[in-house]
Structure 1
Amino acid sequence: MTTRAEIDEAYANASHIPGGMAYPDRWAEAAAAFRAAHPPEEIAYGAGARHRLDLFWPESTARGAVVFVHGGFWKAFDKSTWSHLAAGALAQGWAVAMPSYTLAPEARIAAMTREIEAAIGAVAEAVPGPLRLAGHSAGGHLVARMACADLSPPWRDRVARIVPISPLSDLRPLMGATMNDDLRLDAAEAAAESPLLCDQVDLPMTVWVGAVERPAFLDQARWLAERRGCDLVEAPGRHHFDVIEELADPDSPLMRALLG
């Protein structure tokens, strides 16, 4: 039987990345500088304290909207940590939305799924045109959930592509992890909230993961791509923390996959 310590180690990232503990401060600093230069519009998509999203507008009429959902094992961060990652899509003429959502233990993952569904709905009302969804880690899970048949948002026919980045697609292994003290996953919720296990909706998807990520994250990405029958890209030399950096580069392979 796999122990709790072994599961925790399988999904640990910072301790396996050189300088890993410094990344959150670097993200926050870069995001603050970007917001100062490109102030976003803040939109409420619900009544909760964290039901807010930042919407960055391009200089010209938006071609559509990119929605980026952050990670943090559903327990950490908010919209303000990732603003700099809007640079790539903005340079290509897309509006970029970055929602916060209620974190564990205050909310369960099923509630977070519905919050992201509502956040994308608010973006769809604000920005005409196609929607392109990206998310990292837990955010990759949440955008992959938007392609599950138990959801039926009115905006879904506008989704041109979903790119889950280093996604968690099967939540069942996490029931044995220390993080589940906060997530409170049980067998029913873990199955219902796993994109790997849901009935699929036919939406274009590309699964993206760093080639040197932890084996558990490589497995999670590969499982989802196989289940969806979609492209899987293992980005050379990229780990769990720097795999998202290409979102800031309008000409990067990741941005080409997202924007087409």
Structure 2
Amino acid sequence: MTAWSPPGPRTRPHPEQPGMGANAAPGAVGELTHGPRIVVSPRSCTTNPLKHSAPLGGALAFMGLEGCLPLLHGSQGCTAFALVLMVRHFRESIPLQTTAMNEITTILGGLDTLEQALLTIRARAHPKVIGICTTGLTETRGEDFRGDLQIIRTRRPELADTALVLATTPDFAGGLQEGWGKAVTAIVEQLVEPSGLPVLPNQVNLLTPSHFSPSAMSRNGGTAPRRSAWSRSSCPIFPPRSTAICQRPGAASPWAARHWRTSAAWTAPP
């Protein structure tokens, strides 16, 4: 007498599987009728396919300044690409401006388009600061952006009450974090004036990266960087601007820009 063995699971042919169904070969094993079934889709994953470019990170940093409007020096497509992602994330209107360069201005140079964009922004919005982010189009051509801004300052004295901050953020060099770091560095170098106060040797200002939220820098969430700073026998200061930018545009006060260079050293984001 042979030992009893339980019957195997029943199978049925899968209509989409090759060699199954009506044309199945004799003895072919089909799909199990019981238990979970793994379905592999042949299509590519398209979840948030937009690229986090450097101009996007620079514009995000400029939007944290009070009374600042970011301006992308390039074509309309470069700005629209970043605008779609920011509107999808913040779910509100984003004041992202562009110089709208075309084929002719790309060949002849973007001085006139940059000048017209600055005059239009000042006449309509009256911002305190205009943050200019370069794009891959203008960076590939190799324009002298700082020289263009000096020419515009000379031509247009009405822009004297508006601060212009230039951040070189080409699309082909780095991503969102690199653009964020270059914009924050440009803000410190071009806007902050020496205060003349004595330097505090044991104080270091730490500027957090773009992916840090306000909760990450709170008492519970920011223990790791605080312990690291205290281990070097220094007094860390976390400017509110570096975390409030991540919360919503324009949420920070101008406190940090006035006090960034009162320490022995300031650490720009990577």
Normalization by structure 1: what TM-score? 0.35
User: TM-score with structure 2 length normalisation?
Assistant: 0.34
Which structure has the bigger radius of gyration?
Answer: 2
